Each structure stands twice: as structure tokens, then as C-alpha cells.
Amino acid sequence: MGETLVLVKNLEKSFNGEKILGGISLKVERGEVIGIVGPNGTGKSTLVKILAEAERPDLGEVSIKGRLSVLYQEDYLLPWKKLRDNLCLGLKLMGRECNPIVFARKLGIDKFLERYPKEVSGGTRRKAAIVRALLPDVDVLVLDEPFTGLDTESKDTLLSIVGEFAKANKAVLIVSHQLEELFRVVDRVYVLRGRPAEVKKVLRREEIGKGTV
């Protein structure tokens, strides 16, 4: 067994008196790529925000070892800053150097770095948000619907990057409705169902794609 970098135990969360998460437990070990799937409304993005400490759980335990970077469903780009400045904002606030060109070139947005968000397409903005999440040197990478709005080539590139992260002994957690892409890279999948959401199945790589989701 590898070192556990993300550990979630019996996580519960309610909004306006309605319970959304009903005791979620999962773990991600170093070198693993884990998927989370489930219908809309099962609290997957809420779970992501709790991992990022953007939301607090009502009950349960969340333990993350090392540094974390998150891609949210929304791009959260600052409209008054050029893409280059948006990509580097987090690193600069930490007093660290930033050179986004390698990941920007891989995802085909290097020629747009001097443009403002309103001057580029939604797909380019999504790629910019992905690059921003990839830039920090982190131990845990959390991606919420990373394949949405991407062309086939960009999806393949992102999958390759995710695989490189795992090979570098990092932990990756991906929330996605796009199962074909997700199943190409994950080691295990947590299947959420119900409201409040619970983990109904945990599928190993050899079980994925056999009609069991």
C-alpha cells in the first residue's frame, strides 16, 4: 500500500437544511488517479470545494498531506488581467516564479497569453484554468470536470499530463461525467448515488467499463 495523501471519512454536508453528502468516505494514495462519478446533484462539486477548504463540512474528517491544487468547474479568470497574469497570479502571491509557457503550449493556448479573457473562446478560457491548476508544484491535484469544452486532441494531452503526475508519485482526483476519457486514466472509481449522496460502489481498474457504473 502506498502513502495516503487524501483521506475523507464519513463526510456530511447540508445546505438550507437539506443534506447533500451523507457520509462520504474515500482515499487517494500517492501515485494514484481516482475518479468520482455520479448523477447531477450528488454533491461532487461540493466535495471538491470541501477538499479545497472553500466549504466546511458539517461532520466528518478530511486529511490532505502536502500541497493541493484545484480546478473548479468555473474558470474564475479575472477579466481585467491578461491570461498570462491570470495563470501566474497564485504563484506570484506566494512569491514564486511563474513560467506558464510549457503547459500553455501543450494545450495550445500559448499564442493567447497576452489577451484578456473576454477576447478568447470559452474553450481557451477552460484550458487557461487547467494550466493555472497544473502550474504549482503540488502533491495533490483535484480536477472538477476537466474535459468539458475540450477538443479531442486537448483531452488526450490532458490525460497524458495526468498520467505524468501520477508517475511522479503525486495523487490525482478527477470528477467527471465524461466516462470514456475518465476510464482511460483512473486506477479506481468511486460511484456516488442518492441524495444525500453515498458511495455505492468502488470499482478497480479491471472492473471499469464492464457496465458496472
The dihedral built from the CA positions of residue 80, 84, 86 and 89, taken in this order, carries a sign that is negative
Same domain, 149 and 205: yes
Is the pLDDT reported for residue 30 higher than 80? yes
Domain final residue pick, 103, 137, 171:
137
Considering the chain, what is the average pLDDT of its residues?
91
Q: What is the pLDDT of residues 188-206, one digit of tens each?
A: 999 999 889 899 999 887 7
The whole-number pLDDT of residue 48 equals: 93
Return d(Cα 155, Cα 169) in angstroms, integer. 22
Instruction: Give the number of domains in the chain.
Output: 2
Domain final residue pick, 118, 137, 156:
137
Domain final residue pick, 91, 116, 137:
137
- CA atoms within 13 A of residue 72's CA, in its CB half-sphere: 12
CATH number, domain containing residue 151:
3.40.50.300
Domain of residue 48 covers 1-67+138-213
Same domain, 54 and 147: yes
User: 92 Cβ partners below 8 Å, 6+ apart?
Assistant: 98
143 within 8 A of 173, measured Cβ to Cβ: yes
In a domain? residue 72: no
In a domain? residue 25: yes
Same domain, 44 and 143: yes
87 within 8 A of 104, measured Cβ to Cβ: yes
- pTM, 2 dp: 0.91
Same domain, 143 and 59: yes
Is the pLDDT reported for residue 213 higher than 70? no
Same domain, 185 and 122: no
Q: What is the pLDDT of residues 77-107, one digit of tens each?
A: 999 999 999 999 888 877 788 889 999 999 9
Same domain, 62 and 143: yes
